[in-house]
Amino acid sequence: MPLYEYECKTCDDVVEILVRSQDEEVACPKCSNAELTRVLSVPSAPSMSGGSSSLPMAGGGEACGAPRCCGGGCQM
C-alpha cells in the first residue's frame, strides 16, 4: 500500500494519503475537494557523516513559507 503525497488545487494544502488500491478515490482532508494532484515526494536519507546533522539543504537559507518550500533560501 503506497503512501502518496498530494497537493489540493483548492486550498493548496499538501498531504500524504495511504492509497489501498488504484481505484480508490482520494480527497483533501482539509476541504474535502477531490481535485488533487499527485506530487513527487522526496524520500529522506540517513546522514553519512555520522554527525547529528542530516543532508545539507540547497541554498542553506530560511524557508519562505510557500506550500512546497524546500527551506533552501527561496527567492520568493
pLDDT digits (tens, 9 = 90+) for 26-72: 899 999 999 999 888 766 666 666 555 554 555 555 666 666 666 55
Phi-psi region of 73 (alpha: psi -120 to 50; beta: other; left: phi over 0): left
Dig out the grid coordinates for 50 from the structure.
555520522
pLDDT band at 76 (very low <50, low <70, confident <90, very high): very low
Strands in 3-8's sheet, in edge-to-edge order, are 14-18, 3-8, 36-39
Cβ-based neighbour number of residue 37 at 10 Å:
10
Task: Say which residue, 25 or 45, is predicted with more confidence.
Answer: 25
